[in-house]
Amino acid sequence: MVVTPSFVSLKLTVYQNNTQLLQISGLRDSSQNFIVDGTLTATLLDQNREQVANLINISVPYVTGSNGDYQGLIPATFEAAVGTEYTMVIDGDGGGGHLHIEIPTEVTVRSS
């Protein structure tokens, strides 16, 4: 069984040298029950499918009391090159199934 979130972003934007949250919202199983026991991780891959430093197997734990929401912290030490040729891979288990999502990702500089 594969579990899927109710919404997957068409593109994710992450910022260099900036602490930020990565959120997966409304994770449900095949019976449409919210998954509250998942174990998720996030890894950013470059255009060669190589892991990007400081964003490898980031824990994305369940948000207690939510409807299948999970949040992980991207550290301020993350400083990949600016560009659009990245993929955020979310993997995990929960609700009796496995989750695998690949989201096109852009790395940019935050402007104030």
CATH code, domain carrying 26: 2.60.40.10
Q: What is the pLDDT of residue 28?
A: 87
Structural domain boundaries, residue 60: 4-108
Residue 99 has pLDDT above 50, yes or no: yes
The answer to whether 23 and 71 have CB atoms below 8 angstroms apart is: yes
Distance between first and last Cα of the chain = 44
CA distance linking residue 33 with residue 11, whole number of Å: 26
Rounded to two decimals, the pTM is 0.86
Q: What is the pLDDT of residue 6?
A: 46
Residue 4 has pLDDT above 60, yes or no: no
Count how many domains the chain has.
Answer: 1
